[in-house]
Amino acid sequence: MGRQCGAPAKGNQARMMRQHQLIERVQRYNPGADEDLLNRAYVYAMKAHGAQTRASGDPYFTHPLEVAAILTDLKLDDATIAAAVLHDVIEDTAATREEIDRLFGPEIGRLVEGLTKLRRLDLVSKRAEQGENFRKLLLAVAEDVRVLLVKLADRLHNMRTLHFVPPTKRARIAQETLDIYAPLAGRMGMQGMRDELEDLAFRHLQPEAHAMILARLAEMKQGGAAQVERIVGEVRETMRAAGVEGDVHGRQKQPYSIWRKMDRKTLSLEKLSDIYGFRVLVGTVDDCYRALGAAHVAWPCVMGRFKDYVSTPKQNGYRSLHSTVVLPGNRRVELQIRTRRMHEIDEYGIAAHALYKDGGAADETGAYAWLRRTIAMLNEGASPEEFLEHTKMELFHDQVFCFTPKGRLIALPRGATPIDFAYALHSDVGARAQGAKVNGRIAPLLAKLQNGDEVEIAVADAPTAPPPAWEEAVATGKAKAAIRRATRSAAREQFSGLGRGMVDLAFRRAGKTWTEDRLKGVLSRLARPSLDDVFVAVGRAELKPVDVVRALHPSYTEAGRTGARPDAKEAGWFGVRRAANLVFRRPGREAPEASEEASAIPIRGLQGDLPVRFAPDGGALPGDRIVGILTPGEGITIYPIQSPALSKFDDAPERWLDVRWDVDPDRRELFPARVAVTIANEPGALGIVAGAIGERGANIDKLRFTGGAADLRDLVIDVEVQDLQHLNDVIKDLKTRGKTVVNAERVHA
Ligand code: MN
């Protein structure tokens, strides 16, 4: 920072920056600056803020001007400076985005709007433990790094003038600065801005500690400088003697970082190592360990102070070797050993990646070089997306950040849904989720969440089995795993119920009775650990029902049932709840019409592990006589009894299973069926057919021509109807369309 570190401005009234002074500041580094633009922004903001004043009593307009001044120290482009001057007008005055766009162009309009959005986010930033997520949210919402730069400068000026703010508010603002904005500045490679923000926050949060450290630093500085030089020389000599090429530097630590590491019990600040740290910068990773070796050979090291962040980097990517050694005279020296590249990454954060992307050594050094270059790139017309990619900010673009109604921040992967949100809150909330509100409006449980969305989950009293298809629709591993588990246990329940019914039927066919207790007594003969396992095995067709009968009645032999299709009159049907066209909204909540489409994943038959499925193109309708075909390990497939496909199973009577419909009449589901229609080849014929089907409330799913002779055309139409009766009505209607429809009949695949 080019400005005085933390010097509070006093009595600014006389010193409000004039129009020409702002222009001069910009022209110093950018002779081609758009003077007219800056002048117009100045005048507009001054008029807009009018007689507003700050807590200090200064005209409010001094604030945006000072923010702009901070950004001129960073040598930022015209648009950023203008946006800084205008940054509070939308939120605090009658100005609108449209007006800013019209007067200053959409680029500046976007920047000012971005700042307005960030200011509104301030309202939810109050929880300190959310610091890391909130920083990411800022990055994700800002979209243009210049918005963040103005935001940081805004915060810096507010911190410089914090002493004017009522004491009750100071602590919160200072804490937020420490938690969110100082680390963000560090992240963006603005070490100077970070140090000043931390120093100002520290001063307000711990005034006594701050004063004490400053006083001790001043005391120790006398004579300290020479001592530091001596140590640098000794370390340098040790490296040279060991043949390690490296630069050695000593640096005074910041008051806040001294405080952070200080022994809070003794509050002592005596040792040089409390105040000065030393760095050895080398060429390669190999050199790091050789330098460390040289130091440890020359001097004893302090146990417990050695950290190897080179082989195991910190989570933020920081790499360095840390060790504290004791030089003669009991002088403790903290060493950080790292390569120059690691050093740059530490110094510039995400900026370093941009530097290296450009091919290594940059001409300009310093924290802002990358910003200048990337901003120049923006001015050359690159889209904000490319810019973000360039600066690696897309690191956060694969995430979305959402809030609970109470302001808790939840970080989720991009593409996450309210279901993911619910499981992220708590697995129990996920299991009971039955509806969602996003930003106060009812939303589908599988809607894609956006940054900043406030999400409210409505829960049922008890967990409900989620539709298996959700597993593919959610984005988080936690939600996927929970849904998979729930699906498996639901499937097991279904297999078990199916198996129990099959066992019961087998006993009745054999003319025998059974009880659970008696079956439990012969589990060992069935080689299953529990009765439920027996039923599941039967349901999965891994165990024959007749074998269960034989476990109790070893002499029983199944007679008289070979090669025959099941007799419809025979007792013992199994209920099969038709599950086609399931709308995957859990019961208990009516979603509005509009969201129905998005929230529903219609499927044909049950999927995943579930045992009941419908034969493809089987066209089984409620009202049809249906049969199930068992496939070991998979479950049963439902066919209408007249399906030609069934002939494949004629030789495997043990796989046949009687089933019946158990349709929920309130559900009004539609089922697929196929109709063959022959029509006259004349204009409007197709319209008449479609009209007849539509009038009956059936849907046409697919329609294709299959041929035709002379004046006739053959059609195959896949329709969706409620049941067999409905289909018959449709066919009857078609047949009454005079000469247009020559024939209509149901067909099976
Ligand atoms: Mn402001």
Does residue 603 register a pLDDT over 70?
A: no
What is the CA(64)–ligand 1 centre distance, in A?
6
Given this model, what pLDDT does residue 317 score? 59
Please tell me whether residues 651 and 705 are part of one structural domain.
no
Last residue of a domain, one of 661, 690, 708: 661
Residue 433: inside a domain: no
- Do 322 and 263 lie in a common domain? yes
Instruction: Tell me whether residue 502 is in a domain.
Output: yes
Sign of CA dihedral 79, 82, 84, 87: negative
pLDDT band of residue 738 (cuts 50, 70, 90) is confident
Of the listed ranges 57-61, 332-336, 443-447, 644-648, the one predicted with least confidence = 644-648
List of residues 6+ apart from 316 with CB closer than 8 A: none
What was the pLDDT predicted at 146? 79
Tell me whether residue 700 is in a domain: yes
The average confidence (pLDDT) of the chain is: 76
Question: Rounded to two decimals, what is the model's pTM?
Answer: 0.49
Lowest-pLDDT range, 55-69, 88-102, 577-591? Answer: 577-591
DSSP state of 737: S
Query: Which one of 34, 35, 73, 92 is the catalytic residue?
Result: 92
252 lies in the same domain as 330:
yes
In whole angstroms, give the CA distance from residue 399 to residue 411.
7
Matching residue, tokens 């766009």: 101
Position 406 in a domain: no
CATH of residue 683's domain is: 3.30.70.260
Confidence of residue 131 (pLDDT cuts 50, 70, 90): low
150 in any annotated domain: yes
For residue 278, count other CB atoms closer than 10 A to its CB: 22
DSSP letters, 295-318, are HHHHSPBPTT--EETTTS--TT--
The residue with greater pLDDT, 512 or 180, is 512
* Residue 397 lies inside a defined structural domain of this protein: no
Q: Which residues pair with 409 in a beta bridge?
A: 403
Q: How far is the CA of 71 from the centre of ligand 1 (A)?
A: 13
Q: What is the pLDDT of residue 612?
A: 65
| Ligand 1 center–CA 173 separation, angstroms | 13
SS (H, E, C) 94-117: CCCHHHHHHHHCHHHHHHHHHHHH
Residue 602: pLDDT band with limits 50, 70, 90: very low
Q: Pairing state of beta strands 612-614 and 574-576?
A: unpaired
Q: Are residues 573 and 559 in the same domain?
A: yes
CA of 163 to the centre of ligand 1 (A): 16
Query: Do residues 219 and 197 share a domain?
Result: no
Stretch among 306-310, 414-418, 660-664 having the lowest mean pLDDT: 660-664
Q: Which residue has the higher pLDDT, 377 or 722?
A: 722
Higher pLDDT, 67 or 501: 67
199 CA distance to ligand 1 middle (Å): 20
Retrieve residue 144's tokens: 């243009």
Same domain, 655 and 506: yes
Cα-to-centroid distance, 586 and ligand 1 (Å)? 46
Q: Is 99 in the active site? A: no
Q: Which of 659, 746, 733, 724 is nearest to 694 (CA)?
A: 733
Q: Which of 40-44, 119-123, 303-307, 327-331 has the lowest mean pLDDT?
A: 119-123
Q: Are residues 216 and 200 in the same domain?
A: no
Higher pLDDT, 57 or 139: 57
Tell me the backbone φ, ψ of residue 323, rounded to 5 degrees.
-155, 150
For the question of residue 92 being annotated catalytic, the response is yes
Provide the residue type at 433 as one letter: A
Same structural domain, 186 and 213: no
Task: Give residue 155 CA to ligand 1 midpoint distance, Å.
Answer: 7
Query: Which residue has tokens 């409505």?
Result: 458
Count of domains forming the chain:
4
How far, in Å, CA of 433 to CA of 741, rounded?
50
Question: What integer pLDDT is reported at residue 3 of this predicted model?
Answer: 39
Q: What is the pLDDT of residue 361?
A: 33
Q: What is the residue whose two structure tokens read 């006398």?
A: 222
Q: pLDDT at position 392, please?
A: 35
* Catalytic pick among 91, 472, 542, 570: 91
Rounded CA gap, 376 and 575, in Å?
A: 70
**Lowest-confidence segment of 113-117, 266-270, 704-708 by average pLDDT:** 266-270
Domain boundary (661, 686, 707) is at: 661
Confidence label for 13 from pLDDT (cuts 50, 70 and 90): very low
Q: CATH code at 257? A: 3.30.460.10
Determine which of 14-18, 250-254, 682-686 has the lowest per-residue pLDDT on average: 14-18
Amino acid occupying residue 412 = L
Task: State whether 324 and 244 are in the same domain.
Answer: yes
Q: What is the pLDDT of residues 453-504, one digit of tens each?
A: 789 999 888 887 777 778 888 998 889 988 888 888 877 877 787 788 778 8
Summarize pLDDT for 689-712 with one digit per residue, the tens: 888 888 888 888 888 888 877 788
Residue 178 lies inside a defined structural domain of this protein = yes
- Check pLDDT > 70 for residue 587: no
In terms of domains, do 298 and 256 share one?
yes
Residue 192: closest CA among 63, 363, 367, 372: 367
Asked if 682 and 616 sit in the same domain, the reply is no
Residue 143 lies in a domain: yes
| Mean pLDDT, residues 374-392 taken together | 40
Q: In angstroms, what is the C-alpha Rg of the chain?
A: 38
Task: Taking residues 256-281, report their average pLDDT.
Answer: 74
Length of the chain: 749
End-of-domain residue from the set 182, 205, 228: 205
21 and 150 in one domain? yes
The SS3 assignment for 722 reads coil
The arithmetic mean of pLDDT across residues 559-570, rounded, is: 41
59 CA to middle of ligand 1, Å? 13
Nearest to 115 by CA among 77, 81, 154, 68: 154
pLDDT band at 600 (very low <50, low <70, confident <90, very high): very low
Dmax (CA) for the chain in angstroms is 114
Nearest alpha carbon to residue 536 among 487, 507, 501, 580:
501
Write out the residue range of the structural domain in which residue 86 sits: 3-205
Tell me, in angstroms, the distance from the centre of ligand 1 to residue 348's CA: 26
What CATH number did the domain enclosing 28 receive? 1.10.3210.10
Rounded distance between C-alpha atoms, residue 702 and residue 696, angstroms = 17
Angle between helices 145-160 and 191-205 (to 10 degrees): 40
Q: Is pLDDT of 373 > 50?
A: no
Instruction: Count CB atoms within 10 A of the CB of residue 9.
Output: 16
The reported pLDDT for the residue numbered 534 is: 93
Q: How far is CA 415 from the centre of its chain?
A: 6
The pLDDT assigned to 11 comes to: 44
- Cα of 154 vs centre of ligand 1, distance in Å, is 5
Do 34 and 83 meet the contact criterion of CB atoms below 8 Å apart? no
pLDDT on residue 729: 92
Determine the Cα–Cα distance for residues 290 and 296; give it in Å rounded to an integer: 10
Is the pLDDT reported for residue 130 higher than 60? no
Distance CA(500)–CA(519), nearest Å, equals 12
The C-alpha atoms of residue 414 and residue 422 are separated, in whole angstroms, by 15
Q: Two tokens at 624?
A: 């049809």
Q: Does the structure show a pLDDT above 90 at 343? A: no
Cα 683 to chain centroid, rounded: 54
